[in-house]
Amino acid sequence: MQVGFRASMNWLHTWSGVVLGSLLFAIFWMGTLSVFDKEIDRWMMPATRLAMPAAFSYETMRPAYLAGVAAKAPAVLLLVPNERNPVVTALWRNADGSFTQRLFDPSTGAELPDQGTLAASRFIYPFHYTLNLKMFGVGYWIVGLCGMMMMALCVSGVVIHRKIFADFFTFRPERKVGRATLDLHNVAGVLGLPFHVVISLSGLVILFAIYFPSSIWAVYGKDARLFGREAYGSYARPPAKQAADLISFDAIVARAKASWGQGEPNYLYVFNPGDATVYVQANRASEDVVGNISAVAYIDGVSGDLLAASKPEKPAAVVQRFIAGLHFIQFRHWTLRWLYFGLGLAGCVLIATGLLFWVESRRERHRRLGRSGAGIVEAVTVASVTGILIATCCYMISNRVLPLGVTVLGLDRIAIEIIVFHLAWLATLLHAWVAGRKAWAGQCMVVAVLAASAVLLNALTTGDHLLKAVAHRHSWPVAGIDAMLLLTAVVAALVARRLAGERPPERAAREARA
């Protein structure tokens, strides 16, 4: 019976990985990049490479608020500048459902030029949990399925690898690709096992209202606002259709801070802007706590009175916010942030090596039997691993090559960057299908060239070369992205060289017979 259980776990581990491995790699890759999404934003939006003012006045956010009022937005989200994102950001939803984002200088309040890109916060980060498939919410469900299967893969992997912890200390890179791949798969799996389980589970918990809406409907029906008030103390009131001015933002923040004590807000959400019933939701920054939301205050925008204040106190809400905070990692802890990044890369390595081992172990048998399964999986795997790296580099390169305000065939700069990403990704799939096993080495070398080119183009188009960026503290994020791109280029070149020198199995067999 034990043997049968292990066999079933082996089947689950193998085929769940093969079927969903490519999607899992894309999700993990984009999630890993999202750990430093704000830093990638600054690399892709040169106008935001600013230093935080020594003394910031919240009233500097008024021009950003007035831009939302002029657009007749029903609500304006104002992101408070901080060390990682040193600009005032205004966001609001338009009548057609699209979003508008504008950036402002935190020192003067002057609007910055439109950067013409979604960068990381609005493209890479949403890709991580929606695959940017928003129609009918299908992206959420696909990612949710992948999250559940990732947990199943972790559990089944522990079951089928009886010597998993012994294998953790066994890595033989000098051996053939198949053996070295399996060793690397075991090392990456054990190294990041707790992280992979927690990150998959927390991703499901964050979006519980989408995946398990019946848990809310059973108590509150479909009244989402009532649930929000009960669980998180949210507040809302309708507009009065009468114009009114908003009081000082400094006064609003002071009143909010008086309700929650120490701590600054990370954003101000202005509802009913320009109306007599305008009110501001101030959320305390979570830099010193793990929970995603620590305290919220609702301030009357005309009188400055405190309308409501709350913080998650009910056990279910506290646990949900804590687990969400573990996933979002918005607290200030740079060592832990780098650890998340490293473990995210370990997850990518785990998934990639699992797919590669499946292909290597079946390639020759499928060739003899005339089956195309290994070839199909390999082509998809190549496009999913090296292909998405190439697409990401092309996305960043197009950002540095395209001038601001450019349009091509009626498409603006944002659309062009996204099209470049997807066309490059599609091209890697076609190349992998044609080139077969040789595609690995070829695409790794392309990754090396593109990553190094992105660093060079950043220096040529902005003047912020690596040495200059290191010399100025506010440009360290740009230097960090350049350094990681150069490291990627070096690693990709070394891997390409190793793969190019590896003899194909059929060639090795012929030489052995000779």
The mean pLDDT value of the chain amounts to 87
Ranking 20-29, 97-106, 156-165, 484-493 by mean pLDDT, the lowest is 156-165
Is the Cα torsion angle 376, 379, 382, 385 positive or negative in sign? negative
- Each residue's pLDDT tens digit, 161-174: 766 666 655 656 55
pLDDT of 253 above 90 = yes
- Which whole number is the average pLDDT over 476-485? 95
- Each residue's pLDDT tens digit, 418-446: 999 999 999 999 999 998 889 999 999 99
Q: What percent of the chain has pLDDT over 70?
A: 91
Amino acid letter for position 425: W
Closest C-alpha to 294, from 256, 321, 268: 321
Ranking 80-84, 160-164, 260-264, 471-475 by mean pLDDT, the lowest is 160-164
Q: Residue 251 in 3-state DSSP?
A: helix
pLDDT of 2 above 60 = no
The predicted pLDDT at position 398 comes to: 97
Q: How confident is the model at residue 318 (pLDDT cuts 50, 70, 90)?
A: confident
pLDDT of 230 above 90 = no
- Each residue's pLDDT tens digit, 199-219: 999 999 999 888 888 878 888
Output the CA angle 61-63-68, nearest 5 degrees.
100
Closest C-alpha to 363, from 352, 351, 384, 377: 377
Closest C-alpha to 343, from 160, 191, 230, 145: 191
Q: Residue 268 in 3-state DSSP?
A: strand
Asked if 157 and 164 count as a contact pair (C-beta separation under 8 A), the reply is yes
**pTM for this predicted structure:** 0.91
Q: Round to the nearest angstrom and report the end-to-end CA distance of the chain.
A: 46
Contacts of 226 (CB under 8 A, 6+ apart): 220
Per the listing, tokens 């100025």 go with: 472
Estimate the crossing angle of helix 193-206 against helix 177-191, to 10 degrees: 60
Which structure tokens are listed for 75? 């609500």
Closest C-alpha to 118, from 9, 30, 222: 30
